[in-house]
Amino acid sequence: MKEIKVENRREGNILSRVFDELNEFCRARSLFILHYCTGCGAIELPPVMTSRFDMERLGVQPMVTPRQADILLITGYVSIKTLKRVMLTYEQMGSPKYVIGICSCTVNGGMYWQSYATAKKLDEYMPVDLYIAGCMPRPEAIISGLRSLIRNIELGESNNWKKYYENYDYYLGNQQKLFGDEWQTPVDVIGEAEHYGLVGEGTYGEHTEILQRVQQPLKPLEMRL
Ligand code: SF4
């Protein structure tokens, strides 16, 4: 995989650094998880969410809509069909956003490494902040992973979401390989990159050119009875 770098972080005068740190502290203590349950690893989530392990004591709670969620949890293997929905979901989440890949299947395909129907490496399609490996990992491992993410956010070190904008051409290229050149989503990722000041050398390229050629105006969905 092409190496992707992202510039970090606290710069500017002391007052802005204090505000950044306060921001990051508050953000780290109030995280909403959109749990996109893609594989068998999802079965470990009920104990994580309920009284036995109780993730709410860390300030983490489930959220049903991508627009209000901070964390996208991918809980196992992702089929190519499902990956399309995962991408749509990821792009609709507001930034900063964090992705956790649970299960070995998100790291390298796991036991589906040879399958024609699954995506093997999640981080070829979106930046992943944290992997919790195992087949499947226990709730203790998930709680420990959440603690690591919280610590990284507090330290201002969980900035992988910026990679998506700075290296959009790379991610889009991998998506086009799987979904075809006609692939497009309703989200104007390049417009967002400009908005956040995150246009990098990898934002534009041959794949964004293809997208611009094929992009169609979005049509409202039709409902038929
Ligand atoms: S790592 Fe194991 S438990 Fe997790 S999704 Fe893959 S096969 Fe299922």
What is the chain's pLDDT, residue by residue, as a tens digit (225 residues)? 555 554 555 666 888 888 888 888 888 999 999 977 888 988 999 999 999 999 999 999 999 899 999 999 999 999 999 999 999 999 999 999 999 999 999 999 889 989 999 999 999 999 999 999 999 899 999 999 999 999 999 888 889 999 999 999 999 999 999 999 999 998 999 999 999 999 999 999 999 999 999 888 777 767 676
Q: Is the CB of 127 under 6 A from ligand 1?
A: no
Q: Is the CB of 136 under 6 A from ligand 1?
A: yes
Location of structure tokens 């079965």 = 43
Condensed to tens digits (0 to 9), the pLDDT of residues 198-208 reads: 999 999 999 99
Q: Is the CB of 118 under 6 A from ligand 1?
A: no
What are the start and end residues of each CATH 3.40.50.12280 domain in the chain? Answer: 14-158
Residue 71's alpha-carbon distances to 30, 145, 212, in angstroms, are 11, 12, 29
Question: In the CATH hierarchy, which fold is given to the domain comprising 14-158?
Answer: Rossmann fold (3.40.50)
HEC string of 127-152 equals CCCEEECCCCCCHHHHHHHHHHHHHH
Q: What is the pTM of this model?
A: 0.87
Q: To which H or E segment does residue 91 belong?
A: helix 80-92
The rounded mean pLDDT for the chain is 89
Atom number, ligand 1, closest to the C-alpha of residue 104: 1
Return d(Cα 76, Cα 211) in angstroms, integer.
Answer: 29
Condensed to tens digits (0 to 9), the pLDDT of residues 94-138 reads: 999 999 999 999 999 889 989 999 999 999 999 999 999 999 899
